[in-house]
Structure 1
Amino acid sequence: MKKLLIVLLSIVFVGGSNVLAQMDCYQFVKSCKSGKREGFLYNGQSKSGMFDSGDTTEITMIAYKGMDYKIT
């Protein structure tokens, strides 16, 4: 009985952490201070990332006609 309880608890903890890891982060842009958000429109293509000053990164981007893009 004790082994069954340990196995069940392990499944719950592992499964729960996987669900949390897969949560959508789409609310991040919406939580940005409104002054910094000015001029941005949140839509289905909105993506964001946090960087410190001086950080560099490489991105791959597909641009569609009729859309405005802003990278700041």
Structure 2
Amino acid sequence: MTVGRRVRRIRTERGISQEALAGAVGVHRTYLGGVERGERNLTLRSVERLADRLGVPVRELIGDGPEG
């Protein structure tokens, strides 16, 4: 599973809209959509910000775990 798919799964499980998460992270909604579709390359800092706003450890987004 890609980082973007994990972001989408966690975001939807928590009932957060793309627009709300994008605003919290400081990016445009279309950029976040591109991330979720795997069309954007992320920096570690971007992954850290997404993880922080979603309330999960970075390793959960990058796949260093049971689902990994």
TM over 0.5: no
The structure richer in helix per residue is 2
TM-score (norm 2): 0.23
TM-score (norm 1): 0.23
**Which structure has the higher relative contact order (CA within 8 Å, separation 6+)?**
2
Quick check: which has more Rg, 1 or 2? 1
